[in-house]
């Protein structure tokens, strides 16, 4: 299943590459409809490592209020990484010149409004 998620993520990363690495989530409907949770990351100038990508998402904890379960600023990447029910992750990466786009998909998906990640 992880290999399937990685292929799914890579397919979207490749599509974003054809769109000049414009960071756009999969649409909610249509042929490319989102079936899993999804985090995107963009980098330019120097290639990022998987550890750096995940660290950037986890750093969003600074904007998460654990008491209320709400974000102050951006924290949706963090909550998806930490989502209690997500058990599998697969990632893909594509380059556009000196820029990269990372796509990671989570199964089962998380980030449901009104629910806390853990």
Report yes or no on 22 lying in a domain: no
Tokens of 92: 């893909």
| CATH code (residue 79) | 3.40.33.10
Q: How many angstroms separate the CA atoms of 21 and 9, rounded?
A: 14
> Which pLDDT score, from 0 to 100, does residue 54 have?
98
Q: How confident is the model at residue 113 (pLDDT cuts 50, 70, 90)?
A: confident
Report yes or no on 16 lying in a domain: no
Q: Which domain holds residue 63?
A: 1-6+40-118
Report yes or no on 105 lying in a domain: yes
- Which pTM does this prediction carry? 0.94
Report yes or no on 15 lying in a domain: no
Count of domains for the chain: 1
Report yes or no on 25 lying in a domain: no
Report yes or no on 117 lying in a domain: yes
pLDDT tens readout for residues 66-106? 999 999 999 999 999 999 999 999 999 999 999 999 999 99
For the purposes of burial, counting CB atoms within 10 Å of the CB of 87, is it exposed (0-12), middle (13-18) or buried (19 or more)?
A: exposed
Report yes or no on 91 lying in a domain: yes
% of residues, the chain, pLDDT over 90:
96
């Amino acid at each position: 299943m992880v290999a399937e998620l990685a292929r799914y993520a890579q397919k979207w990363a490749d599509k974003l590459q054809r769109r000049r690495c414009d960071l756009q989530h999969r649409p909610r409907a249509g042929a490319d409809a989102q079936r899993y949770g999804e985090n995107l990351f963009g980098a330019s100038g120097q290639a990022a490592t998987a550890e750096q990508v995940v660290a950037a998402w986890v750093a969003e904890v600074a904007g998460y209020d654990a008491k209320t379960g709400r974000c102050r600023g951006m924290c949706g990447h963090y909550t998806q990484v930490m989502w209690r029910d997500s058990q599998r992750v697969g990632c893909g990466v594509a380059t556009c010149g000196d820029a990269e786009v990372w796509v990671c998909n989570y199964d089962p998906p998380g980030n449901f409004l009104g629910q806390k990640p853990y």
